Amino acid sequence: MAPVTDDLTPRHRRLLFRALHRGTKECDLMLGGFVRRHLPALDALELDELEAILEMPDVDLTDWLSGRRPVPAWAEGPLLARIVAEMRAPGAGRTA
C-alpha cells in the first residue's frame, strides 16, 4: 500500500518515486518497499544517505540487499545497514 503522497514534501515524493522506479523489479521491490514503509520517519541525515544510495547501481544494491555480496566499506552507512538488515530478516519479501 502506497503512502498518501499529498502529505509528503516534494523531496520525499521525489525520493519515493526514485526508489520505486529503479529499473529492475528486484531493486524496486526491496529498496522501494523499504522506502515506502519508512520514508516519513527518516530524518534529514537519513534522507541525504538515501539520496546517495539511490545513485548506486541496481546490480550492486540488489546483490547487497539479497546477501549475494557483502556491502563494501565505501558504501557502508547506517541507513544502508538498516535496509540490509530488514531485507535479511525472516519473512522479508512477503507481502502483507
Per-domain residue ranges of the chain:
8-88
Spelled out in words, what is the top-level CATH class assigned to the domain 8-88? mainly alpha
**Has residue 49 got a pLDDT over 90?**
yes
Query: Which residues lie closer than 8 Å to 12 by C-beta, 6 or more apart?
Result: 39, 40, 47
Give the three cell numbers for residue 15: 525520493
**Has residue 71 got a pLDDT over 70?**
yes
The CA–CA distances, whole Å, from 51 to 45, 58, 68, 78, 95 equal 10, 14, 23, 13, 26
For the CA atoms of 89, 55, 47, 26, the dihedral, rounded to the nearest 10 degrees, stands at: -30
Confidence of residue 5 (pLDDT cuts 50, 70, 90): low
pLDDT at res. 7: 82
Please give the model's pTM, rounded to 2 decimal places.
Answer: 0.86
